[in-house]
Amino acid sequence: MEPIKSTNLPDRFNQWLKESITVKLASIGFLILVLLIPAAWIASMIEERQQRAESVIAEVSDKWSGNQTLSGPILVVPYKHRETIKIDKDQVEIKESTRKSFFLPETLDINGTVSPEKLSRGIFDAVVYESSFNMKAVFSKPDFKRLEIAEDMILWNEAHLIVAITDLRGINKTPPVIKAGNQNLASEPAQNIGVSTQKFERIVQPRMYEDAAYSVKSATGIVAPLNWKSEDDFTTNADIAFNLKGSSRLSFVPSGKTTTVNLSGPWPDPSFNGEFLPTTREITDIDFTATWNVLHFNRPFAQQWKDSHQELVGSEFGLKLLVPVDQYQKSIRTAKYGILIIVLTFVALFLVEITQKIRIHPFQYILIGAALIIYYTLLLSFSEQVGYTIAYWISTVATVGLIAAYATSFLTDRRLNFLFTTLLVIFYTFIFIIILQQDFSLLIGSIGLFLIVATLMYFSRRVSWYKEQQVTNTNG
């Protein structure tokens, strides 16, 4: 004889709360929404740690020397400019000033070596480098007629060479060695050298003649007087050798009509960036070599100009020295899949509960969800010490082991507990594969989720979602 079920309304309602699949699903959904709050905190914490790492790296790099961009050498020939200013109806004034004309080389060959190293502060590493360069430039004789400069106005005795360098603190060990022809030139650091490898702002000012003033953010470099007395002293060749240190990035501006840069160094993870990629490159496990060839047709500035400040931007190229492992980016990507792990774990528990007639209390769901959230703090903290891959599996083994041990309290069948533990391992392995395969992460993720949904459909096909409640009425 079947047990007599109470017809009392409160008892029936309590019985419905205990046995209703809909109520169980609603409570699990609510728990998932609640767990989204600490999941968001975890993502915020990872971003905060990343910002902290970037600030420390920037601080270390700034004390060493910043990113470097080289431009030049550039030939500068001052000239006299006369301007007639009308004072009143019958009087005029001739104002004489000194201006500059600029000429880029016909060919520019740069051979350089880069020697990177890591500087550490606490658990953070910054990549810096020391480099040495040999620059060979060949100039053609300046065509002043194209610039509308009279021959008798040219100040050959004030001609000089300039090389724009972003951060002059990078010049160390020995001063630059500059030769023009067979003559050794003395050089000095200078600001506002007339060119810039960074953006600058134009300031419109009222002036007696139509021109513009410019506020230059950075126009530093070295200046070397050529010691010419007349046009007869003009030499076409210029050789420059110097050492330069910097941080992370090294870039070049294609100053010549034909610019060739050969660069090498003992670093296995260079990132070639900028407007031009190397025409040839070779990267091994211990070093790299790269060669760029750039024509003046490919750059947005002229071969010669006068007067106004020239902005040599828009055609830089070079390399960035990458740190092989970026644990924060991978941790952020992993944390984005946190809600997926929670949902899959709770769905697996739910299917076990309704198919095996096992009662799992909501508080037990909460504890398992908390373990899944704490997993990401373990991943972040360990990845800062031992790298992402090792940290991932340490955190996975710890979390899966903890949940499997706790699950023995309600999954008394060892085979069932083993199956649940295996599912967790599959979930975390699936996420790990997605993180590593960046180019195919969408494809692998889509196929994996499709197979998971298909598996859930298969195991839930015999679930009776609407149970018929038999109520026996008695007449007392």
For residues 198 and 333, the model is more confident at: 333
pLDDT at res. 441: 64
In angstroms, the CA 60 to CA 126 distance is 7
In angstroms, the CA 123 to CA 387 distance is 11
Whether the per-residue pLDDT at 196 is higher than 70: the answer is no
In angstroms, the CA 332 to CA 322 distance is 19
Confidence of residue 203 (pLDDT cuts 50, 70, 90): very low
pLDDT at res. 262: 92
Question: Phi and psi dihedrals of 35, rounded to 5?
Answer: -70, -15
Provide mean pLDDT across the span 427-441: 75
In angstroms, the CA 117 to CA 166 distance is 20
Question: CA neighbours within 13 Å on the CB side: how many for 390?
Answer: 8
In angstroms, the CA 435 to CA 331 distance is 9
Nearest to 53 by CA among 327, 449, 238, 239: 327
Whether the per-residue pLDDT at 448 is higher than 60: the answer is yes
Share of the chain above pLDDT 70, in %: 78
Provide mean pLDDT across the span 427-437: 79
Counting other chains too, the contacts that 428-431 makes at CB distance below 8 Å and 24 or more residues apart are 428/341, 428/392, 428/396, 428/400, 431/334, 431/337, 431/340, 431/341
Share of the chain above pLDDT 90, in %: 1
Q: Residue 387 class from Cβ within 10 Å (0-12 exposed, 13-18 middle, 19+ buried)?
A: middle
Contact 238, 180 (CB under 8 A): yes
CA distances from 181 to 137, 268, 338 (A): 11, 38, 66
Question: Phi and psi dihedrals of 210, rounded to 5?
Answer: -75, 110
Whether the per-residue pLDDT at 107 is higher than 70: the answer is yes
Whether the per-residue pLDDT at 243 is higher than 80: the answer is yes
Nearest to 243 by CA among 57, 117, 70, 105: 70
Whether the per-residue pLDDT at 438 is higher than 70: the answer is no
Provide mean pLDDT across the span 317-335: 73
Whether the per-residue pLDDT at 93 is higher than 80: the answer is no
**Letter string b/e over residues 336-356, b meaning 16 or more CB atoms within 10 A of that residue's CB:** ebbbbbbebbbbbbbebbbee
In angstroms, the CA 361 to CA 468 distance is 23
In angstroms, the CA 234 to CA 142 distance is 10
In angstroms, the CA 270 to CA 287 distance is 9
For residues 25 and 244, the model is more confident at: 244
**3-class secondary-structure state, position 236:** coil
Confidence of residue 109 (pLDDT cuts 50, 70, 90): very high
pLDDT at res. 7: 55
For residues 467 and 308, the model is more confident at: 308
**Letter string b/e over residues 292-316, b meaning 16 or more CB atoms within 10 A of that residue's CB:** bebebeebebebbbbeebbbbbebb
In angstroms, the CA 231 to CA 20 distance is 99
Nearest to 244 by CA among 170, 343, 189, 301: 170
Q: Residue 405 class from Cβ within 10 Å (0-12 exposed, 13-18 middle, 19+ buried)?
A: exposed
Provide mean pLDDT across the span 67-86: 82
Nearest to 162 by CA among 102, 107, 242, 233: 102
pLDDT at res. 323: 64
Nearest to 338 by CA among 42, 25, 29: 42
pLDDT at res. 198: 52
Cut 0.95: pTM above it: no
* Lowest-confidence segment of 1-15, 259-273, 316-330, 363-377 by average pLDDT: 1-15
Average pLDDT, the chain: 76
Which DSSP helix (H) or strand (E) runs through 319?
Answer: strand 317-321
For residues 431 and 86, the model is more confident at: 431
For residues 22 and 220, the model is more confident at: 220
Contact 197, 71 (CB under 8 A): yes
For residues 57 and 367, the model is more confident at: 367
pLDDT digits (tens, 9 = 90+) for 19-74: 556 666 677 677 767 777 776 777 777 777 777 777 777 777 777 778 888 887 88
Whether the per-residue pLDDT at 442 is higher than 60: the answer is yes
List residues bridging with 264 in a β-sheet: 113, 289
Contact 251, 320 (CB under 8 A): no
